[in-house]
Amino acid sequence: MLTLDNKKKLKREILAYFLLIVGSALFAIGDVMFVNPYLMAPGGTYGLSNVFNTLWPWKISLYALCMDVPLLIIGTWILGPKFGVKTIVSTALIFVFTFILESWWGYNPVIHDGEIVNQAGASMVEIPHNGGWFAPDYFLNTVVAGIIYGLAIGLIFRSGATSGGSDIISMILHKYTKISLGTLVMIVDGIITLSTLIAFGDIRLPIYSVIIIFIEGKVIDLVVDGMKSYKTMFIITDNPEPVRDFIINNLKRGGTCITGSGLYKGNERKMVYVTLDRADMIKLRSVLYRIDPKAFVNIMESSEILGQGFRRLPQE
């Protein structure tokens, strides 16, 4: 008989693997139907596989598999078992979905040369074409690809998996250098992105690939952190009680009052630490001048807030 805690844990695992499956399927759709046909490579092993697929025709999924499996093995050997079961499952699912899609769909773009038709199906504009739904549009295709990639990787992250692939190269380099992991990820993905310029000689391709990466990052943040934006305020004031009353009674939020001393004169000061959504932050900021015109305020963007009153702490 399952206990209540076990039932909740089972539901979370089922949801995690559902998100993993959907995210992996979306990744394959974005790569095969939007990124590869326009010869773009927005980082990762699949970006490099797109370049190889165009230069030396072989399935994208097989190129990626030939890179992902050795990287997982080498990464586990050098870094230890950091990747977990879900990352391995994600790697396998993306391979399967990509293999199926490129075998069934091929490498035909969704947004490409085609007839523009009316609702009755009659051709309105004739464009040299191979058949399709839209006239060719690099920018529209880039935006759609970035959104799909962002949704895909965001869902994979939400499931508790990581993207693996070329990120493992960055993690290995990070171990033996003093360069930050974020910088190394940008360098590795940047080299992969620039490979399109070297391979195809078209300056547009790395530029559009970078736009995909930018849009992808923003969508990942929305998927992982949600739409709500939080601000953390540090308010140093000689009059903390009215600030406390406004936060508790008007905003119905909590916070922390910290006692410190100024560096210049060493006088004791009070600092109110509080995290609010954007609307409440604006309300508090608007009354601070009336409460204490000499208050010092530092407002910071908070990417993730966990705990009572916000998102719950993740369970292992």
Q: What whole-number percentage of the chain has pLDDT above 90?
A: 19
Q: Does residue 222 register a pLDDT over 90? A: no
Most confident range, picked from 59-73, 83-97, 186-200: 59-73
Higher per-residue confidence, 163 vs 299: 299
Q: What whole-number percentage of the chain has pLDDT above 70?
A: 83
SS3 call for 298 = strand
CATH number for 230-302: choose from 1.20.1070.10, 3.30.930.10, 3.30.70.120, 3.40.50.620.
3.30.70.120
Query: Would you place residue 131 in the very low, low, confident or very high pLDDT band (cuts 50, 70, 90)?
Result: very low
Amino acid sitting at position 21: I
DSSP for 40-82, written as a single string: ---SHHHHHHHHHHHHS---HHHHHHHHHHHHHHHHHHHH-S-
Query: Would you place residue 94 in the very low, low, confident or very high pLDDT band (cuts 50, 70, 90)?
Result: very high
Q: Does residue 68 register a pLDDT over 50? A: yes
Return the pLDDT at 181. 62
In the block, tokens 């990052």 appear at: 217
* Backbone phi and psi for residue 236, each to the nearest 5 degrees, phi listed first: -95, 120
Q: Is residue 213 within 8 Å of 147, Cβ to Cβ?
A: no
Query: Would you place residue 128 in the very low, low, confident or very high pLDDT band (cuts 50, 70, 90)?
Result: very low
Cα 154 to Cα 311: distance, rounded to the nearest angstrom: 17
Which helix (DSSP H) or strand (DSSP E) does residue 312 occupy?
Answer: none
Rounded to an integer, the average pLDDT of 192-211 is 88
Find, among 97, 30, 106, 105, the residue nearest to 65 by Cα: 97
Map out the domains of the chain as residue ranges. 4-225, 230-302
**CA triple 157-160-163, angle to 5 deg:** 50
Cα 71 to Cα 60: distance, rounded to the nearest angstrom: 17
β-partners of residue 272 are 235, 257
Mean per-residue pLDDT over the chain, rounded? 81
In the block, tokens 């601070």 appear at: 288
* Backbone phi and psi for residue 285, each to the nearest 5 degrees, phi listed first: -60, -35
H-state helical runs in the chain: 4-30, 44-55, 60-79, 84-104, 138-158, 166-176, 181-200, 204-225, 240-245, 278-291
In the block, tokens 């530092």 appear at: 298
- Residue 277's region, left for phi above 0, alpha for psi from -120 to 50, else beta, is beta
Quick: pLDDT tens for 8-21: 778 888 888 899 99
36-45, 111-120, 182-191, 243-252: the lowest-pLDDT one: 111-120
